[in-house]
Amino acid sequence: MLNENHALILDFPELKMDIVHLNHDSPTFKEKSQQYHLLDYDIRQLEIAGSPTDDEHMNQLKIKRAQLKDLLYLQLKEHHESCRA
């Protein structure tokens, strides 16, 4: 879907508190999270503008966003599980 916001807090509402804690306590998570959100913003801006880039470039941006999201999700799940133990 075009121009869909993929903010972590929207995609993982059940991990909201984990997102807040890791953004506050983990500089590495915070840095990757900022990269993810900037990349998501850039992709949405390209989609709004009618994708003024070639398909290969857009696909590479989306792949990088998915990889960052996977990495962040793993860190979130690990944090969530460690808090429940």
pLDDT tens per residue across span 9-59: 999 999 999 999 999 999 999 999 999 999 999 999 988 887 677 889 999
Give the other-Cβ count within 10 Å of 15's Cβ.
19
Query: What per-residue confidence (pLDDT) applies to 1?
Result: 57
CA 23 to chain centroid, in Å, comes to: 12
Judge whether 7 and 37 are in contact, CB under 8 Å: yes
User: Does 2 map to a domain?
Assistant: no
Q: Which residues contact 27 (CB under 8 A, 6 or more apart)?
A: none
Does some domain include residue 1? no
pLDDT exceeds cutoff 90 at 84? no
Q: Provide the H-helix boundaries in 8-54.
A: 8-11, 16-25, 27-48
| pTM for this model (two decimals) | 0.89
CB 75 within 8 A of CB 22: yes
Would 69 be classed as within a structural domain? Answer: yes
Specify the pLDDT at position 59: 93
12: in domain: yes
Residue span of the structural domain in which 13 resides:
8-84
Confidence at residue 54, expressed as pLDDT on a 0 to 100 scale: 85
